[in-house]
Amino acid sequence: MTDKQSSIPEAFILALQVELENQPEGIGEYDLMQSLRQQGYFDFLSDPALPHELFQAHFILFHSLYFLNDIFLNEKKYLLNIHTLKIQLLSYREGERSLQVDNKLKAYYLDFDNLENTSAEDVYDMLSSFWNKYNRFDNREAALLELGLKDPVDDQMIKQEYRRLIMQHHPDRGGETEKLQKLNDAIKSLLG
């Protein structure tokens, strides 16, 4: 393939390439992982898989995808579209390499220290953080209404209105503690 090194066995990289070549319309991460698992890869996953195991499998897959994309670009063979919902080989066109941006995700997944230094507790913390951010938008409309706002608004506008209302409704200025608590709950919901 190339002189470039990866910590992933070459057999896995080749199996991944074959799977992608057999899916010209693209394939989702879950389906790709299941297909590779049927070939004997990701045998460390329990049934059902634990979050830390899923993180490891995801990391290995994405490390391999970014590694493979670099190989394809060097060989001028393919361009790899990498996304959890759709991973797809695209035809290489001259100039594609210069259009590739070295993004933070690529750098993250190509650094194996990020896998080795992520504990099960770290994975649970990441999941908790995700769900907290996800759930904060569950009541976004109600939280904005508490601040007298309506979408579309950005975080800066939310903070500005929150500060104004806190000053207006602070108990030291004759405001009510209950209203102050509602404003604090709204800002926590919106900005975490």
pLDDT score at 1: 40
Say yes or no: 20 and 101 in one domain.
Answer: yes
Mean pLDDT of 163-177: 88
Say yes or no: 39 and 129 in one domain.
Answer: yes
Question: What band does 33 get if pLDDT is binned at 50, 70 and 90?
Answer: very high
Q: Note the pLDDT tens digit of each residue in 64-101.
A: 999 999 999 889 889 999 998 999 999 888 765 545 55
Whole-number Cα distances in Å, 45 to 33, 40, 41, 78: 11, 11, 9, 30
Say yes or no: 113 and 159 in one domain.
Answer: no
Q: CATH number, domain at 152?
A: 1.10.287.110
Q: Are 19 and 88 in contact (CB under 8 A)?
A: no
Say yes or no: 170 and 91 in one domain.
Answer: no
Domain assignment present for residue 126? The answer is yes
pLDDT score at 2: 39
Query: In the numeric block, which tokens belong to residue 114?
Result: 């990020």
Query: In the numeric block, which tokens belong to residue 87?
Result: 């991973």
Number of domains observed in the structure of the chain: 2
Is the pLDDT at 172 greater than 60, yes or no? yes
pLDDT score at 84: 87
pLDDT score at 128: 84
Say yes or no: 109 and 37 in one domain.
Answer: yes
Range of the structural domain that residue 179 is part of: 137-191
The single residue listed with the structure tokens 């990020």 is 114
The pLDDT > 70 percentage for the chain reads: 88
Q: What is the mean pLDDT of the chain?
A: 87
What is the distance between the alpha carbons of residues 7 and 13, in angstroms, rounded to a whole number? 10
Domain assignment present for residue 5? The answer is no
SS3 sequence of 71-140: HHHHHCCEEEECCCCCEEEEECCCCHHHHCCCCHHHHHHHCCHHHHCCCHHHHHHHHHHHHHHHHHCCCH
